[in-house]
Every structure is written in structure tokens, then in C-alpha cells.
Amino acid sequence: MLSFATKLVSPLAASLIFSLNNGQAVVAVSVLFCTLMAELVGPRLYSCCNCRNNVALHDDVISKAFQGRNSRAFLFSHTMNIVVGPKEDRQLTTGLHTVADVYCCDCREVLGWKYERAYEETQKYKEGKFILEKSKIVKENW
């Protein structure tokens, strides 16, 4: 019910229904209430595809235009409930980087990697940030 209300009916649409038909005022108000509740319940999250462990916040997405090993990937400023593996140098399409694979702390699924160091000046903004493969995470609470 909550996600249905958030996805399909914005508060604007709810107030439009309200003004168009007073007979449906109760419906409109409850839809609006659901939308507000969904925002109060918690932030939109991404979870591990394997065990649904919460691993990142939607608000921490920096870019959705990255390429992972096998799929599209997102760049995050922060992640949570993950384990960072050993560092290694890897030649990526954007140059040489020191990276470390990141794992779900519960099920140990490899979710992506952390940029520990970028050697090229133009890539330095990625240092300390995380790549999570789109195919390895699922939306939660949207």
C-alpha cells in the first residue's frame, strides 16, 4: 500500500483529486497520508540482491552512469554493512586505480568495489567512493 501510494500518486495528484471531487475527499486525504508516512518510515535504500541486507542509501548515489564488471553500476559516496577486501591495482577503462572488492557483510556476495586510489588527476574524485553493480543490488522501501 505504501509503495503503491508513493509511486503512483504524488501529493499534487492527491490534492487534484480532492478539488475535483469532494465525494472522494477521504480517499484523497488517506492517499496523501500514506505518501507522508512513506517518507517518515525511512529513506529509500538499496539492498544486497542475495540476502536483502541494506547496503546503501539512494541519497548517496553520485552517478548512475558507471560500468561494472558485468552490468551498469552506480557510484556511491557511502555504503553500509559491507566488507572491504584487500587492495589491488587494476587497469580500468579510465586508467590505473587501486581498488578493493566490497562484499555483503552477511552473505559475502561481491557487490562491487571501492576506489582506494586513482592515479590520474581527473579521476581523483572517485577516491574513497564505492561502485555497486546494478545487477547485485535491489531497491528497498521505494
Name the residues that contact Zn ion, by CB under 5 A: 48, 50-51, 53, 104, 106-107, 109
* Closer by beta carbon to Zn ion, 126 or else 136: 136
Minimum CB distance to Zn ion, residue 59 (Å): 21
* Closer by beta carbon to Zn ion, 50 or else 123: 50
Nearest-angstrom CA–CA distance, 45 and 54: 7
* Closer by beta carbon to Zn ion, 6 or else 53: 53
Minimum CB distance to Zn ion, residue 31 (Å): 34
Closest CA to 135 of 87, 83, 85, 67: 67
Minimum CB distance to Zn ion, residue 85 (Å): 15
Minimum CB distance to Zn ion, residue 109 (Å): 5
End-to-end CA distance of the chain: 11
Q: Which residues of 54-73 are buried (b: 16+ CB within 10 A; e: fewer)?
A: bbbbeebeeeeebebeeeeb
* Closer by beta carbon to Zn ion, 69 or else 124: 69
